[in-house]
Amino acid sequence: MANKPNQDKPILANLFIGFIKLLSCFSLKNQQRIGAFIGWVFSLFPNYNREVIRANLAVAYPNLSKQELKILANKTLQENAKSFTELGAVWEWGVDKQLPMIKKIYGEYLLDAAYEKGNGVLMLSPHFGNWEVLGFYLKTKGTFTVLYQPPAIKSIENYLNKVRGRVGRPVPTDIAGVKTMFKVLKQNKMVAILPDQDPGKSGGIHAPFFGHPARTMTLVSKLANKTKAEVLYIIGERLPSGEGFAVHILSAVGEISSKDELIATTSLNKGVEKCVAINPSQYLWSYKRYRHPPKGVADIY
């Protein structure tokens, strides 16, 4: 999980930040409309995102017909693009406008009960819907620390730390960050992790994800096993017509804290699958989840 050295490209960073600020001038509904349009355009011609989404969906849902897969892929392109264009609201609006975007909360009792056990809460947030919006809700439950992978451009990392730091404490994926997480959990506080990122060769093992091997992080099981923290999943589902978001909190599946890494990582992925099932088109299928396959397994990309 070592960090890649990053560099500074201020012009590119300023263009990125400027575009986010521009998006913030629109309503949430119109930000989503812009995202839907971008996704629709991307569905019209061959491109990286479209091809990765189609490859992932064909593996994850082998029983769907070609037409069903095409429809789901096109919808996914639009939903994934919305996750980006919504950043205008999520990163730039004031808290007085951000928290009201959350319209429904399911499973809140699971989080309350987890805190009562006194061993900390390990909150897993897959790349589903809008995971950035979840910080506004989690902040209402207390301070939390979030693990993140620093971007390649230093100026963008500074911006991300600033906007994300309003709701949580970001720590990088290095030794110091892992030590911080252990410390926080022992204080009966919360740690949030995106569990479906490729952890690198040394940070995980291959475990089935929708029936196909995907390199999966072992950090979650190690944290859960050593701290006895309660493990939960949380996602922010996008509601239709720009209405806002619904927060879903789900319990962990299987033996996620097992010392057997294959059992633990398989359980972790089963939990992610449970989240995806709520609305498959809102999962980040444009990410190469099955890259670096094990020996003997073909690279689907």
- pLDDT (tens digit per residue) in 106-146: 999 999 999 999 999 999 999 999 999 999 999 999 888 98
The first and second tokens of residue 217, run together, are 């992080």
Query: Does residue 208 fall inside a structural domain?
Result: yes
Residue 3 included in any domain: no
Our count of domains for the chain comes to 1
Q: What percent of the chain has pLDDT over 70?
A: 98
In which domain, by residue range, is 90 found?
Answer: 10-282
Q: Is residue 84 a part of any domain in this protein? A: yes
Residue 48 in this model has a pLDDT that exceeds 70: yes
| pLDDT computed for residue 5 by the predictor | 47
Whole-prediction pTM: 0.93
103 inside domain:
yes
**Does the residue 289 lie in any domain?**
no
Whether 41 maps to a domain, the answer reads yes
Looking at residue 112, what is its pLDDT? 95
pLDDT given at position 6: 56
Name the more confident of 3 and 291: 291
Task: Let me know if residue 295 belongs to a domain.
Answer: no
Q: pLDDT of 242-275, one tens digit each?
A: 999 999 999 998 999 999 999 999 999 999 999 9
> Does residue 300 lie in a domain region?
no
pLDDT at 2 over 60: no
